[in-house]
Structure 1
Amino acid sequence: EMTDITEISKMPDLFDKISKSIAPSIMGHEDIKKAIAAQLFGGARKHLPDGMRIRGDINVLLLGDPSLGKSQFLKYAKEVAPVCVYTSGKGSSAAGLTASVIRDPSSGGFNLEGGALVLADGGIVCIDEFDKMREEDRIAIHEAMEQQTISIAKAGITTILNSRTSVLAAANPIFGRYDDMKSPVENIDFQMTILSRFDLIFVLRDTIRAEHDQNLAKHIISVHQGKAADARAMANVIDAERLKTYIAYSRAHCDPRLSESAVKMLKEEYVAIRSTIRKRRNAKKEEKDWTPEAIPITVRQLEAIVRLSEALARLELQPVANEEHVRRAIRLFKVSTFQAATLGYMEGKKGSGSFHQEVMKVEKQLQARVAIGTQKSVKAILGEFVHRQEYREDTVRRAVQNMVQRGEFIYQQRQHQVKRLK
């Protein structure tokens, strides 16, 4: 086994070879495969002299249209990760993800049962349908994703559980698939607080490209015919069992740190990325309805690049992350999170400040004006609030959407009309 691990570590272009071994039956998406490869190895966990811990685990979010293979990536990660728990956001509660207190029927006492994030300590949690989770359940995993602990204070039990795990999540846009008529912020249903905890965020779009569609159709048909295992292609793939063993060994025996030259390069690149975002924000100040917002690239994203660099060094069993590792990590960051921030996805759902207050005002007025069991067109609602009361359109649409999610409204006639249910 040790000979096999040494043999893998000495392979030329190892990073490319391992990334191609991630879900090899899925065509394309090379950058996502590289991100998942880095996530499987993870960065170095650090314990500071003051007792603080800095996580080394990498969190990845795949956000995009359906039928692009997001769930397949999660399933494959489950196969090759040494420790992994797979769950669906639709059927997951806060207690199921973190921990719950269960009464023992025989003794009458209380027992503490760990959820998915506790059971996957030292591995990966794959959460499919992440957008289908309730907001309060998503908030429950904030501590687990950043601090990597879960604090419990229930039924007289007060304790802290470890959840040193990576999160690989897949989600669809708020309307099922991306709506080009709406802004990026209107297409997603996540708060900035949860988005900032993901090191890499990939936005996947199902665009129409004739040549790509032709190649994809050919590939899928080949898979169904059992011809996908092309001898030349499979020769460059490391099988799942070997990869699983290699990942387990590297995580246990390799703890890389950044070199001095890599630190200097990383510092300069972080300042440059922040400057680019700031220039874009300054350009938007000229717009009529501009409102000041925080820059979405923070120190968390700098730490994300550090973790990625260390993961790429660990992947090669290298004790030091050099400039080449940092360069690859920055490229991965730029094609994912930085691109998402540039397009406006990292602004997240507005959940605080004046916007949130305005949304709540509109919701209260809708509850008072639309009786239970009655219907009203979305156009009429917009006309009433936007033209007569001078609310912003995105404020009114967000209020309607919030009420739909809570089950107070239901869309009818292709979302042109709403009906009050409760």
Structure 2
Amino acid sequence: MSDARHRPSASEPGPNPLAAGENNISVEAARAAIDAAIHPTTDVETVPIALAVGRILADDVISPLDVPPHDNSAMDGFAFDGRALDATQALTLRIVATMHAGAAPVEGVETGQCVRIMTGARMPAGLDTVVPFELCRVDDGDNVEIPASVIAAGENRRFRGEDLASGKAALTRGRVLRPADIGLIASLGLTTASVRRRLRVAVFSTGDEIVSPGQPLPPNCVYDSNRFALIAALQRLGMEPLDFGLVADNRASLQDAMARALEDVNVIITSGGVSAGDADYTRDVMTSMGSVSFWKVAMRPGRPFAFGKLSGRNGRDAWLFALPGNPVASLVGFYSLAREALLKLAGASAQPLPSLDARCTVDIRKRPGRTEFQRGFVWLGDDGKWMVRPVGSQGAGILRSMAEANALIVLPDNHGSTKAGDFVSVWLFDGLT
């Protein structure tokens, strides 16, 4: 397909940092090249805050009011003027009123008097200190005795606007909204949030030997797991995956699938068909439909990987991430090379992969020159240090060990073998949202 309509638009970023055909670049170089090419989308929509969790904030949320809106009590106790305190002797005050949250403040509290006050109640004028009930002695009448040195002037008082001042940004754009953020927006009296539109991502698997779950399994075939694992990973990122099913191992089918996807998505993710086999047509089709750099990344598993921008007949563009066909390699490629790029494209602020250092409990053989990702299990040792051990078979097609693991052990390209007791970096699966 040499039609000019299938070439990238002039508005695209400059030449890809990777020359076509360059092989075995590092994971870091691949990530940098993808990051240099990707720019956030600008599509925005307004949604009710009840539906906004997990969405990416498109604009700063500016507070229309002070939070809290007035000075108030931080706990249940007695409010009084702290200037009456004497560190050397107890203070006795007369209780003249009781205040609950939401009630109008008591006025005219005089020297020698106090107010029984509940958490969140507005502080009466002239009172600046709250002593907790449990620190006081109340007699049979209306008097309360505050022992010496149990409280300092000004304690347990929340100031107007100390949490958030009117006109200030409560949340900044690019934030992936969490439950606490939704609560904060609601506390400002707001009912909607301006968020980025969800990325629409087409997902399909290639291979004549692949069969969809639920169908009869012919001899020499396997059920497709990649498509469903990738769709699940995209859902955890708050994106909108579109299941394009299976694509046969021939150029026409692959080209047709990509052309259909280009009509309505921001991103296309494929698995399989990016190596150098006779039936791997992804490279040729990608080259004919857009500006694509194909490379072998120096990593294990997941060496075959392709990235670029495709252009359709309707003038729409979409980014393509072509992942390996082996199930573990496909997921590792997604986590290590696609995840952060997709979040950036979706408009999120920097979302680095969460990692921690853990002490490896066994030797791991490795040669320098490539980054290796091993499935691992992390736990907290008796000494309070994180521990990790490899889990199950490390073959690129062994998905069971991926399910048994709770982390990936990341072994850098310039490092050799790891000895038991050495610390290694791990990516926690529960953090790969």
Same-fold call, TM cutoff 0.5:
no
Which is richer in strand? Answer: 2
TM-score norm. by structure 1 comes to 0.26
Q: Tell me which structure has the larger Cα radius of gyration.
A: 2
